[in-house]
Amino acid sequence: MNTSVNISKVVSEMDSIKGEISKKNAELHDLDQKISTIEKKILAKKVSIKLEKLLNSLPNQAIGTIEYYNKLNERVHLFDRENFNKITRFLDFVEKTEKSYNLNYEKSRSNYYKDPYLPCYDIWIKEYNSLNKYYKLLETLIFQVDRDIVKYNKVYNFLEDKGLFLTSPEKHNLHLLEEISDGVRMIYGELDEIVLKLDNIDETLRAIQSDTSSMDSHLWDISFRVSTFD
């Protein structure tokens, strides 16, 4: 009888302990959830801070095409009509990219603190990098047409091969409108490569110019000595 009472008491105490354990487990689970939520908020704030620094370091507006527009007008006499029209189409394309950059910058500026994971941030940063490359290509097209025709043709042919000179009807007829839009996002690496090649060409030309100057100096020295003997 006494033993039976003791067993019942032990069972009751065990059930009570199990209940307490279950309660503590539920509390720990809630605590883990709260900790996870806080950690996510902290991470989001860190991302927001990085975005803020980036927003402050980059231009709030892309307006580089204004300068190229004016320069293209000044140098219009250097281009034939067909080439000029095609380059103007590329300028239009870059202007549209600028407008998109400006919109995404404003959207990023308005939302980076509330939601630092919106897709506009990636788009805006990619457009910034892309615009830098487009400006480099525009600069080559405008300023090398009467200087380095090889460099000019390399850039011109590259853009033509990518379909960036096509008219809207041509794009529509060839079903390239969406393909070109997607393809532009795929040519960043190729743009990097051609910009690097252009830089390498510049370095080579500078080296050749330096060698030529040295040769001219040497020839002048020889000429001077010969005239002395005369």
pLDDT tens sequence across 90-102: 999 999 999 999 9
Q: Does position 86 have pLDDT exceeding 80, yes or no? A: yes
User: What average pLDDT does the segment 4-19 reach?
Assistant: 71
Q: Does position 69 have pLDDT exceeding 90, yes or no? A: yes
Give the integer Cα–Cα distance in Å for 218 and 226: 12
Q: Would you state the pLDDT for residue 65?
A: 95
Burial class (CB in 10 A: 0-12, 13-18, 19+), 94: buried
Q: Does position 221 have pLDDT exceeding 50, yes or no? A: no
Whether residue 112 contacts residue 146, with contact meaning beta carbons closer than 8 Å, is answered with: no
Give the integer Cα–Cα distance in Å for 202 and 199: 5
pLDDT in tens, 44-68: 889 999 999 999 999 999 999 999 9
Higher pLDDT, 180 or 148: 148
pTM comes to 0.67
Percent of the chain with pLDDT over 70: 70
Angle between helices 120-143 and 188-229 (to 10 degrees): 30
Give the integer Cα–Cα distance in Å for 100 and 123: 9
pLDDT in tens, 159-186: 998 888 877 777 666 555 556 656 665 5
Q: Name the pLDDT band for 19 (thresholds 50, 70, 90).
A: confident
Percent of the chain with pLDDT over 90: 47
Q: Name the pLDDT band for 229 (thresholds 50, 70, 90).
A: very low
Write a three-state SS string for the chain. Answer: CHHHHHHHHHHHHHHHHHHHHHHHHHHHHHHHHHHHHHHHHHHHHHHHHHHHHHHHHCCCCCCHHHHHHHHHHHCHHHCCHHHHHHHHHHHHHHHHHHHHHHHHHHHHHHHCCCCCCCCHHHHHHHHHHHHHHHHHHHHHHHHCCCCCHHHHHHHHHHHHHCCCCCCHHHHHHCCCHHHHHHHHHHCHHHHHHHHHHHHHHHHHHHHHHHHHHHHHHHHHHHHHHHHHHC
